[in-house]
Chain A
Amino acid sequence: MDAGRPIIQVNDLHHRYLRGTPLEVVALKGVTMEIYEGEMVGIIGRSGAGKSTLVQHFNGLIRPRERGKVIVDGEDLADPDIDIRALRQKVGLVFQYPEQQLFERFVGDDIAFGPLKMGLPMEEVRERVREAMEMVGLDFGRFKDRYTFTLSGGEMRRAAIAGVLALRPKILILDESTSGVDPRSRKDLLGRIDALHRERGLTVIFVSSSMEDVAELVDRVYVIDDGRTVMSGTTREVFSRPEELIRYGLGVPQVTEIVHELARRGKIPFTTVVNVQEGKEVVWKILNSSAT
């Protein structure tokens, strides 16, 4: 996986909102990370840590104007002459609260917004909308003529993600886009994103405050706190350091915590599990050994 060049490279990135006014807020004070093509990377951190500010740099909604560099697919985002629309087509960003991002009257129109702006012929637009809707599990025929504001919360999220997928991006960024949906819907959606990543090689950046989802889904994790990168590594490495995570206002998945607790009580050697399946195996092993 580390064979390729990084598709996103962030080096010592700083950002201040409302620079030079009395209301100035420092949002980023030194973020460094590398994301490789085809990876699924998680970014975690407490609210206000700077995650959204960071990912909005990736598609050029915010440009690096102070210290630090952002290079996406070989292009330096500080360069004012890059083709920003091409970049945004390549880097699809779904925000928090997707229900606030649907702006057209009909679901079909909303998802078609991007392809239409790209100037594609209607046939191709329709094809892309259909494809994107199937990818997130919305039936094309049933949903395209629905009013956007009559959708349920889960459907709105799917529609918002489909609107970005219709651009056929190389990189998909989900900024807390799956929080606040009912458990079944979330599980289904996460499964579909995982499938996109596996089957189509989509690079996925998953920003979340749900440790469970992160552990379940991603290969590597970056932890952001107070505008800085404070931890990074594979999911297992990061979740094997619970004390640090707690210091940054985070935690580990419940199943990870249980297994850590078992190790602390001397039942097993210290191990870090990242999903329920692994946890189950550990527990079985203990039960089996104590039974004999």
Chain B
Amino acid sequence: MEDFEFLRHITLGQYLPGDSLVHRLDPRVKISVMLFMTVAITFNVSYLANIILLIVCLSFVLLSKIPLGYILSGVKPALPFIIVLAILQLLFYGDAFVPYGTESRTILRWGWVHVTSGSVQLVVVSTLRFLQLLFLASLLTNTTTISDLTSGMEAMLSPFSRVGLPGHELALVGAIALRFVPILAEQLEIIMKAQASRGADLGAKGRLRFIQTTRQMVALIVPLFIDAFRRAEDLILAMEARCYVGGRHRTKRVRFRFQRADYIAYVLVLLFSAAMVAFRNRMPF
């Protein structure tokens, strides 16, 4: 409770420098891979499909040379929660979930407990799915710098600006957001320390904890918002003073260009994901 340092710990999917194949891929390719794979993962509920998908995701991790333990260590704090949730799903959700194309058989029924083949599958598949997406998301953020990520997103969204989707502006919003997180974290630390120095008891105890924490939080978060607005006003003024106009006519300092590896990765993952979606109901188990 007496530790204000946690604010410095904020890592937005810490970028880990490296020179692996995955690091060198074009950010647009990485974002696309993430999207294709996510679609494939979202559509597949069978055991086999999810095992295949997990193996593919794992091989991406190996290619990136990011230590597997590093990615998994982020899950550790939530592990008890995940396990409890999984057990609940396993024991009580028997009737809730019937995977497409299968018959849910009752495996065990005892009072409230109702385990079916459906609930077993739900638990196993959602665990596998979780791991797949965890690997993909960590890979994207661990091997791509934030500026590459936003530029990549912007580049991908720009074709849509012709149909009215403001790709450039969206990317700019993202870039401002990421830029402001550490600034506001520092401000939050200042407010917390100033309040603590004047006797605010951060970290409440007892039965009325909810009310206490809410009050403290309001006292902390309202000034944070006000500070954020003040900084926003400054930035608006600065941008308008320099006649900022976004959009299609803006030139860029860095332009991405696809390399051979980019084309190969893109096409391979696209084909693989499409196949996984196409054959989703034909998996043997």
Tell me the A residues contacting B by CB distance below 8 Å.
17-18, 21, 23, 56, 59-63, 84-85, 88-89, 92-93, 95, 97, 100-101, 103, 113-114, 117-118, 149, 160, 163-164, 167
Name the contact of B9 in the complex, choosing from A21, A92, A103, A113 (C-beta under 8 A): A21
A/B interface sample: 26 pairs, CB < 8 A: A18-B5, A21-B9, A60-B2, A61-B4, A61-B193, A61-B196, A62-B4, A85-B199, A85-B201, A88-B196, A88-B198, A89-B199, A97-B190, A100-B191, A100-B227, A101-B194, A103-B191, A103-B194, A103-B222, A113-B195, A113-B198, A117-B200, A118-B199, A149-B226, A164-B197, A167-B199
Contact yes or no, B191 A101, CB < 8 A: yes
Considering the complex, give the chain A residue whose CB is closest to the CB of B11: A23
A56, A61, A84, A164: residue with the most chain B Cβ atoms closer than 10 Å: A61
> Complex: how many Å from CA A97 to CA B187?
11
> Complex: how many Å from CA A88 to CA B192?
13
* Shortest CB distance A186–B (Å): 21
Q: A117-B198, A118-B199 are in contact. List 20 more A-B contacts (CB 8 A).
A: A17-B8, A21-B9, A61-B4, A61-B196, A61-B197, A88-B199, A89-B199, A92-B197, A95-B190, A95-B193, A95-B194, A97-B190, A103-B219, A103-B222, A114-B198, A114-B199, A163-B198, A164-B197, A167-B198, A167-B199
* Shortest CB distance B190–A (Å): 5
Contact yes or no, A117 B8, CB < 8 A: no
* Shortest CB distance B192–A (Å): 9
Considering the complex, give the chain A residue whose CB is closest to the CB of B8: A18
> Complex: how many Å from CA A17 to CA B3?
11
Contact yes or no, B8 A59, CB < 8 A: no
Which residues 156-212 of B have a CB within 8 angstroms of A? Answer: 187, 190-191, 193-201
Chain B contact residues: helix, strand, loop or mixed:
helix
> Complex: how many Å from CA A95 to CA B194?
8
Question: Total contacts A to B, CB within 8 angstroms?
Answer: 66
Chain B residues near A164 (CB-CB < 8 A):
197-198
Name the contact of B2 in the complex, choosing from A21, A63, A92, A118 (C-beta under 8 A): A63
Name the contact of A103 in the complex, choosing from B8, B223, B230 (C-beta under 8 A): B223
Contact yes or no, B195 A103, CB < 8 A: yes
Contact yes or no, A84 B187, CB < 8 A: no
* Shortest CB distance A19–B (Å): 9
* Shortest CB distance A161–B (Å): 12
Name the contact of A56 in the complex, choosing from B193, B219, B223 (C-beta under 8 A): B193
Considering the complex, give the chain A residue whose CB is closest to the CB of B198: A114
Chain B residues near A63 (CB-CB < 8 A):
2
> Complex: how many Å from CA A89 to CA B196?
10
* Shortest CB distance A139–B (Å): 22
Contact mask B1-23 → A, CB, 8 Å, 1/0? 01011001100000000000000
B194, B195, B198: residue with the most chain A Cβ atoms closer than 10 Å: B198
